[in-house]
Amino acid sequence: MILETPEQEMEYFYLYDETTIPPLLKNIIDPKKESYTIEGKEYLSMYIGYDDAQMMRKEGEFSKLYDIINDEVGSDIIVAGLPKKTFTSLDMMHFVPKSFRENYLKSVGK
């Protein structure tokens, strides 16, 4: 799933389930833990590729593992994992459960 930010930049979301996790990230992404509930509120798990995580940290969007990012295109999320650099396009992606797409479509009224 590719989305354009208000700054006209592209964000790449890799929608995963148990059968579609890239082999390089199988030891990082936990398909059975799609969300966390904290104080009664649900946060979808997001794993952020190395390059994108560095940029997001620099811009102050989060600082560490398990930080919460509210309303990331329709979903409140928790930074569940920060994979090491793979030197592939995976470094530029957000990895989110497939339900992320449903939340996004609801947020834009589709």
Q: Is 87 helix (H, G, I), strand (E, B) or coil?
A: coil
pLDDT tens-digit readout, 41-50: 999 999 999 9
What is the distance in angstroms between the CA of the first residue and the CA of the last residue of the chain?
15
Q: What are phi and psi of 106, to 5 degrees?
A: -65, -40
The pLDDT of residue 54: 95
pLDDT tens-digit readout, 12-57: 889 999 899 999 999 999 988 999 999 999 999 999 999 999 998 9
The larger pLDDT score, comparing residue 100 to residue 64, is at 64
For the chain, the domains span 2-107
